[in-house]
């Protein structure tokens, strides 16, 4: 028998997380194009390699960083890593995209993902341990009491995002913004869950499979949840291919979606996942009831809410199954040692779900009130700017900032794009807009070339 020794380049061992992230994002698949929406190619998505060097990957995110550019950039990468472990095929067939398919799933990017993903997960999610403390007498009764408390709280509470939609000057655009965030998971629904269906762990495995097969329409494509979600998008004349709205996903929703992949990728976190999915299934039904009410008030019968009706109905059933046949069953079978992990999963799911809501609400409020933020730009105290150039044929991408900035157009003409639907805000030379920390936007040059200045805000005016 001959043993071959493969030498590993020193750089492959010593590369930092930042260097590996930049190498991955620098692949031609992730450089974007001039279109605001991504085309029907699930392998290409804008990872903004030119702005990623701003992110300090040596300093992990904290819970206060969920709406920063550090979070947005990291979770775009992490979401791409996770999806490369699923099967994505374009609706129009693979003939024209075979090269992209081979590159997306190929050895080069796979090795980069494998060398990077654990470090990137620590960067993105280690903060959960600082935010969730499970201590004391963790019994099955305590677990159930805590679960009932947080789910009752969610059912009786308000949705910041839906409230922002209802209060918006342009409620139709605000409602579409919410649909865009739901599309992140809605068009690939239950993909994270599928990772925990293999193995052998008894009746609890079958209970989870019941939910999974419901999500997949019992094998009937027309009743699959992703199919009926696409119907809702079409009723709003919105695109239905996977990640058409990639540029408009916010960091809170990205983190929420990635959270379930994060727990599912490592089976040592199985009990945390079981707690998290139980919480999610329990709060979905009342959340969709609230959504139906808001959307009916805005659109009447002009929107297809079959998806919401389905979840409002089926998730009551799923909530009972996961509580009784997964959460409590696992606790009773495997003893008090697993109860803290089950409780931790519930608490973490509640936390990241709050990020989704607050981030979406903040984006809706800002994008709905750009005229006011033009006025605030003039009142803001700013520091030394940096100059950015854009041209009409260059790739379009979106970003946010860790702190507030004033964006001032210095030359040419451009559109400030803040939402996936609705009209962008036209900017001409001398125009300025205050962009609060964490708000996602893109600049699309209207003239052949434009230049804008980003002034860091030292003293932000009251909004």
User: What is the model's pLDDT at position 459?
Assistant: 81
pLDDT confidence of 14, banded at 50, 70, 90?
Answer: low
Q: Look at residue 269 and give its three-state secondary structure.
A: helix
pTM of the model: 0.95
What token pair was written down for 34? Answer: 């001039």
- Percent share of the chain, pLDDT over 90: 93
Complete domains list, the chain, with CATH: 10-127 (no CATH), 134-367 (1.20.910.10), 370-459 (2.60.120.10)
383: left (phi over 0), alpha (psi -120 to 50) or beta: beta
CB 452 within 8 A of CB 408: yes
User: What is the model's pLDDT at position 10?
Assistant: 39
Q: What's the whole-number mean pLDDT along residues 41-63?
A: 96
Residue 461 pLDDT exceeds 80: no
Residue 5 pLDDT exceeds 60: no
* pLDDT tens-digit map of 188-197: 999 999 999 9
What token pair was written down for 364? Answer: 């809706």
To the nearest 10°, report the CA torsion of 5, 9, 15, 19.
Answer: -120
User: What is the model's pLDDT at position 315?
Assistant: 81
Residue 333 pLDDT exceeds 70: yes
**Backbone phi and psi for residue 432, each to the nearest 5 degrees, phi listed first:** -145, 150
Residue 170 pLDDT exceeds 90: yes
* pLDDT tens-digit map of 385-430: 999 999 999 999 999 999 999 999 999 999 999 999 999 999 999 9
pLDDT confidence of 463, banded at 50, 70, 90?
Answer: low
pLDDT confidence of 460, banded at 50, 70, 90?
Answer: confident
Q: Which residue has the tokens 């933020």?
A: 373
User: What is the model's pLDDT at position 120?
Assistant: 98
Residue 12 pLDDT exceeds 50: no
What mean pLDDT, rounded, does the chain reach?
95
CB 346 within 8 A of CB 278: yes
Which residues lie closer than 8 Å to 115 by C-beta, 6 or more apart?
12, 15, 20
Tell me the angle at which helices 171-186 and 270-299 cross, rounded to the nearest 10 degrees.
150
**In 53-106, which residue ranges form alpha helices assigned H by DSSP?**
69-83, 98-104
User: What is the model's pLDDT at position 438?
Assistant: 98
Q: Could you write out the DSSP letters of every residue in 329-372?
A: HHHHHH-TTTHHHHHHHHHHHHHHHHHHHHHHHHHHHHHTTHHH
Residue 158 pLDDT exceeds 60: yes
C-alpha span between 273 and 348 (Å, rounded): 10
Q: What's the whole-number mean pLDDT along residues 120-137?
A: 94
Listed as own residue / partner, the contacts of 270-273 with beta carbons closer than 8 Å and 24 or more positions apart are: 270/196, 271/330, 271/334, 271/338, 271/341, 271/342, 271/345, 272/341, 272/342, 272/344, 272/345, 272/348, 273/196, 273/345
Q: Taking CA 356 as the corner, what is the angle to CA 350 and CA 360, rounded to the nearest 5 degrees?
A: 150
Residue 233 pLDDT exceeds 50: yes
Q: What's the whole-number mean pLDDT along residues 108-120?
A: 97
Residue 25 pLDDT exceeds 80: yes
* pLDDT tens-digit map of 142-155: 999 999 999 999 99
What token pair was written down for 37? Answer: 């929406």
**Residue 314 CB coordination number (10 Å):** 18
């Amino acid at each position: 028998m001959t043993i071959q020794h493969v030498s590993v380049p020193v750089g492959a061992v010593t590369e930092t997380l930042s260097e590996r992230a930049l190498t991955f994002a620098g692949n031609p698949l992730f450089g974007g194009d001039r279109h605001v929406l991504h085309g029907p190619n699930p392998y290409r998505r804008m990872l903004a390699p030119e702005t990623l060097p701003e992110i300090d990957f040596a300093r992990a995110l904290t819970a206060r960083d969920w709406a920063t550019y550090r979070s947005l950039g990291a979770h775009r990468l992490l979401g791409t890593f996770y999806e490369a472990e699923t099967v994505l095929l374009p609706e129009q067939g693979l003939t024209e995209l075979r090269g992209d398919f081979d590159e997306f799933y190929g050895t080069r990017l796979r090795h980069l993902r494998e060398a990077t993903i654990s470090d990137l997960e620590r960067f993105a999610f280690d903060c959960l341990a600082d935010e969730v403390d499970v201590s004391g007498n963790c019994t099955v009764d305590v677990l159930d009491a805590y679960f009932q408390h947080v789910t009752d709280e969610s059912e009786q509470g308000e949705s910041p995002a839906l409230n922002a939609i209802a209060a918006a000057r342009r409620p139709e655009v605000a409602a579409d913004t919410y649909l865009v965030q739901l599309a992140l998971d809605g068009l690939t629904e239950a993909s994270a869950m599928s990772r925990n269906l293999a193995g052998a762990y008894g009746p609890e495995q079958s209970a989870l499979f019941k939910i999974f097969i419901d999500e997949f329409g019992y094998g009937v494509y027309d009743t699959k949840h992703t199919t009926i979600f696409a119907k809702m998008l079409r009723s709003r004349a919105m695109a239905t291919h996977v990640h058409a709205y990639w540029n408009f996903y916010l960091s809170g929703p990205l983190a929420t979606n990635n959270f379930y992949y994060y727990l599912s990728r490592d089976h040592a976190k199985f009990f945390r996942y079981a707690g998290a999915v139980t919480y999610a299934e329990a709060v979905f039904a009342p959340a969709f009831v609230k959504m139906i009410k808001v959307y009916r008030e805005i659109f009447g019968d002009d929107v297809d809410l079959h998806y919401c009706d389905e979840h409002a109905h089926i998730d009551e059933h799923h909530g009972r199954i996961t509580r009784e046949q997964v959460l409590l069953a696992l606790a009773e079978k495997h003893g008090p040692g697993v109860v803290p992990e089950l409780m931790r999963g519930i608490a973490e799911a509640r936390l990241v779900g709050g990020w989704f809501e607050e981030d979406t609400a903040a984006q809706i409020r800002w994008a709905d009130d750009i005229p006011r933020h033009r006025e605030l730009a003039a009142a803001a105290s700013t520091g030394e700017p940096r100059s950015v150039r854009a041209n009409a044929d260059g790739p379009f991408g979106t970003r946010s900032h860790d702190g507030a900035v004033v964006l001032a157009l210095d030359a040419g003409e451009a559109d400030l794009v803040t939402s996936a639907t609705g009209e962008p805000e036209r900017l001409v030379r001398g125009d300025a807009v205050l962009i609060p920390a964490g708000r996602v936007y893109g600049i699309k040059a209207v003239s052949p070339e434009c230049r804008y200045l980003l002034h860091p805000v030292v003293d932000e005016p009251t909004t």
